[in-house]
C-alpha cells in the first residue's frame, strides 16, 4: 500500500512521507495508533507550509513527532550543488539521495511560468548515443517520493520570490516509463488537490519509445503530454542513435503513438535532436514529415547538446531553421527548443557526470 524504502543498506525500512497519498498517510497514522485526522495536518505542513523538519510541525503532539522521526522520513535528499545560469536564470541542482546516489533536477524560468525538469532514475541504461545520463549506466529507479522532493526543492526556492512551479517535465535522467509505477504515483501525488495541485495538462512525460508502456499509459486516460524521443526519420539512423529502436522500430512506435492519441485525445510531441551530418538533411525532414503525416503531433527540434564523450557536431543554426521550415511546409507543427542553461551544463546527466568524475 505505502511507498516503503526497500533499498536501505543495514537499516530498518522506513516510510517516505512524500511517497504517500493523503488516504495512505491516514491509514499509516492509524496503524501507529494515532488518529487519522492528523493526516490532513501533516499534509498541510508538507505541501502548503513546505517545512523540511518534523520539529517545525508545532500543532502535532510531541509523541507523534517522535513516531514520525523513528519510523518515517520527510526530506531524504541533500543538496550538493546549485548552479544558476547568468544568461536566463536556469537553476540546476545536484542532490545526494539517502543511499549516496546522486540525481539532477533543473528549474527553468519561462515567460509563461516556472518549469521543473525531474529525473526518474539514477543514471540510465537506454544507451542513447547523444545523452550524458546514460554514460554510467543505470544505478536504480527513483521512488515517487524522491521525484516529489525534486519539485518541492524547487518550489521552496521559488517561495522566497513569491512564485510557484507551474509545470513539470519528467525529462531528466532516466526512462520514466521503465519506472512506470513510481512515475504514475508521482503524477497522482503532485496533481492531488491536497498536494501541489499541478494540473495534468501542465505535466509532460518523456519516453525513448517503450511501446508496451506507451500502450499501458494510454489506458490510464491521463491528460498529460507524452513526449516521444524520435530523433531520426528511419530505422537505420534511429537504431544507430537509440538501441531501443531495434526492439521497437519506428513503424511499431508510431502505431502505439496513434493509439495513445485515439484513447487520450492528447496531441503528441516528438523530440528530434539535430546532429550535424547524421539526421539534419532536408531530405530527412521530408522523410520525417511523411512518417508523421496524419498524426496529431508537434515536433520539437533540439540542437544537440555537447557531450565530450560523444563528439557529435551541432547542426548550424541556418540548417536548423531550414529543417524547421521544411517540416512546416509539409504541414507539421514545429518549433526549435529554446536553449536554457547552456552556461551551466543543464542538459541531463552533465552535472552528475562531472561531480562523480571529481569524486572518483
**Number of structural domains in the chain:** 2
Query: Is 5 domain-assigned?
Result: no
Burial of 223 from C-beta contacts in 10 A (0-12 / 13-18 / 19+): middle
Question: Is residue 234 a part of any domain in this protein?
Answer: yes
33, 103: one domain: no
Q: Whose CA is closest to 175, among 129, 126, 224, 211?
A: 126
Spell out where the chain has E strands.
15-16, 72-73, 78-84, 91-96, 102-110, 113-117, 121-123, 138-141, 165-170, 203-207, 225-229, 268-274, 297-303, 333-336
**301 with 320, same domain?**
yes
Task: Note whether 96 and 225 are same-domain residues.
Answer: yes
- Please tell me whether residues 203 and 327 are part of one structural domain: yes
Residue with cell 512564485: 163
Indicate if 119 and 162 belong to the same structural domain: yes
C-alpha cell belonging to residue 344 = 551551466
Does residue 66 sit in the same domain as residue 43? yes
Q: List the catalytic residues.
A: 104, 348
235-279 pLDDT, tens digit each: 999 999 999 999 999 999 999 999 999 999 999 999 999 999 999
pLDDT of residue 2: 52
CB 337 within 8 A of CB 302: yes
> Which domain CATH number covers 40?
1.10.150.530
Please give the C-alpha separations between residue 50 and each of 21, 42, 203, in angstroms, as whole numbers.
Answer: 16, 10, 21
DSSP for residue 202: G
* Segments of the chain with pLDDT less than 50: 1, 6-11, 352, 355, 357-358, 360
Let me know if residue 351 belongs to a domain. Answer: no
Q: Which domain holds residue 27?
A: 15-73
* Same domain assignment for residues 159 and 257: yes
255 lies in some domain? yes
Instruction: Say if residue 180 is in the same domain as residue 264.
Output: yes
d(C-alpha 24, C-alpha 27), whole Å: 5
Q: Are 32 and 68 in contact (CB under 8 A)?
A: no
Q: Based on the domain organization, do 296 and 258 belong to the same domain?
A: yes
Q: What is the DSSP string of 279-297?
A: S--HHHHHHHHHHHTTS-E
Beta bridge partners of 91: 84, 107
Q: Domain with 164 in it: what CATH number?
A: 3.20.20.70
Is 91 found in the same domain as 41? no
- Regarding whether 215 and 104 lie in a shared domain, the answer is yes
Q: Give tens-digit pLDDT for 128-183.
A: 988 888 888 999 999 999 999 999 999 999 999 999 999 999 999 999 999 999 99
pTM comes to 0.92
In a domain, 355, yes or no: no
Amino acid at each position: 500500500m505505502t511507498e516503503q524504502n526497500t533499498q536501505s543498506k543495514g537499516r530498518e525500512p522506513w516510510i517516505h512521507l512524500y511517497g504517500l497519498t493523503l488516504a495512505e498517510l491516514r491509514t499509516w497514522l492509524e496503524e501507529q495508533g494515532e488518529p487519522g485526522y492528523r493526516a490532513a495536518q501533516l499534509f498541510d505542513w508538507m505541501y502548503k507550509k513546505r517545512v523540511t523538519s518534523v520539529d517545525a510541525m508545532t500543532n502535532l503532539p510531541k509523541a507523534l513527532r517522535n513516531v514520525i522521526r523513528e519510523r518515517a522520513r520527510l526530506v531524504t535528499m541533500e543538496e550538493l550543488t546549485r548552479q544558476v545560469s547568468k544568461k536566463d536564470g536556469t537553476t540546476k541542482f545536484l542532490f545526494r539521495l539517502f543511499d549516496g546516489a546522486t540525481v539532477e533536477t533543473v528549474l527553468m524560468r519561462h515567460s509563461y511560468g516556472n518549469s521543473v525538469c525531474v529525473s526518474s532514475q539514477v543514471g540510465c541504461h537506454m544507451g542513447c548515443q547523444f545523452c550524458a545520463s546514460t554514460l554510467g549506466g543505470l544505478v536504480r529507479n527513483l521512488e515517487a517520493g524522491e521525484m516529489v522532493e525534486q519539485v518541492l526543492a524547487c518550489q521552496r526556492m521559488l517561495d522566497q520570490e513569491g512564485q510557484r512551479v507551474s509545470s513539470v517535465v519528467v525529462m531528466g535522467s532516466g526512462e520514466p516509463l521503465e519506472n512506470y509505477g513510481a512515475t504514475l504515483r508521482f503524477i497522482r501525488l503532485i496533481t492531488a488537490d491536497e498536494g501541489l495541485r499541478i494540473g495534468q495538462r501542465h505535466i509532460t512525460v518523456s519516453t525513448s519509445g517503450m511501446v508496451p508502456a506507451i500502450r499501458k499509459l494510454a489506458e490510464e486516460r491521463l491528460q498529460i503530454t507524452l513526449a516521444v524521443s524520435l530523433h531520426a526519420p528511419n530505422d537505420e539512423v534511429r537504431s544507430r542513435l537509440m538501441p531501443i529502436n531495434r526492439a521497437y522500430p519506428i513503424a511499431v512506435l508510431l502505431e502505439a503513438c496513434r493509439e495513445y492519441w485515439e484513447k487520450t485525445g492528447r496531441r503528441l510531441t516528438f523530440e528530434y535532436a539535430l546532429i550535424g551530418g547524421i539526421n539534419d538533411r532536408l531530405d530527412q525532414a521530408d522523410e520525417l514529415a511523411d512518417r508523421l503525416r496524419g498524426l496529431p503531433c508537434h515536433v520539437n527540434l533540439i540542437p544537440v547538446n555537447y557531450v565530450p564523450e560523444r563528439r557529435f557536431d551541432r547542426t548550424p543554426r541556418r540548417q536548423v531553421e531550414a529543417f524547421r521550415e521544411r517540416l512546416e511546409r509539409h504541414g507539421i507543427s514545429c518549433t526549435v527548443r529554446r536553449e536554457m542553461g547552456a552556461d551551466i551544463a543543464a542538459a541531463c546527466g552533465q552535472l552528475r557526470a562531472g561531480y562523480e568524475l571529481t569524486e572518483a
